[in-house]
Amino acid sequence: MLEIIFVRHGESEMNRNNMYCGWTNSSLTEKGLRQAERVSEKLADEAIDLIISSDLDRCFKTAAIINRLHRKTIIKETALRELNFGAWEGLTYHEICRDFPQEIKKWQEDFINFKIPEGESLLKMHKRVNKAFGRIINEHKEGKILIVSHSGVIRSILTQQLLGSIDGYWKFKIKNCGITRMEIMDNFLVLVGMNQ
């Protein structure tokens, strides 16, 4: 059996300020560091075989804090980055509505296929993320893998693996440093827990 433990990174500066933060490197806040310490304690007794992290600082720092007790080599995976918000990076929703009124309307009408200016569409991110996840679970059929990533990435994997499409993307709420668990046996995937 293969066990997957997903952890979203701790609160970042841009999270705290309600800014869109995809590929921008945003440091963990003091609260985010405390969240990472708490999740590290929760996972202290887990026999983790492999740790994979988004290469962005907020994830890698969270993974490094968890890894203090496990002493594994953390594998950085760029394909597990959040959605690239392009020209919207660092802006609040209010600012995007003000500065990109036509674009935000198109996004609201078709959030799956609309390509954010200078960024990517949700569909492109979804394919990128699930291709990487498929590779991970094909290469590792048993053991326990910790994946530290972003809310959008974890939602994308959950909707694809559990519902078979991108359509359920907004049906999952992923909290900062929440633990989401999956088990895979004979290519059958079970959701064990969310936001633990």
- Which one of 3, 77, 82, 120 is the catalytic residue? 82
Can you read off the two tokens belonging to residue 44? 């202290």
Tell whether residue 86 is among the known ligand binding residues: no
Tell whether residue 27 is among the known ligand binding residues: no
Tell whether residue 8 is among the known ligand binding residues: yes
Q: Is 82 a catalytic residue?
A: yes
Distances (CA, A) of 114 to 47, 101, 162, 180, 186: 41, 14, 24, 28, 36
d(CA 2, CA 8): 20
Can you read off the two tokens belonging to residue 4? 């997957």
In this structure, the dihedral spanned by the alpha carbons of residues 159, 195, 66 and 10, taken in order and rounded to 10 degrees, is 90
Tell whether residue 9 is among the known ligand binding residues: yes
Task: Name the strands in the sheet holding 74-76, side by side, starting at the edge strand that comes first in the sequence.
Answer: 74-76, 50-53, 143-149, 2-8, 179-185, 188-193
Q: How many CA atoms lie within 13 A of 95 on its CB side?
A: 10
Tell whether residue 10 is among the known ligand binding residues: yes
| CA quadruple 27, 174, 78, 96: dihedral sign | negative
- Which one of 9, 70, 126, 150 is the catalytic residue? 9
Q: Is 9 a catalytic residue?
A: yes
What residues form the annotated binding site? 8-15, 58
What residues form the annotated binding site for substrate? 8-15, 58
Q: What residues act catalytically?
A: 9, 82
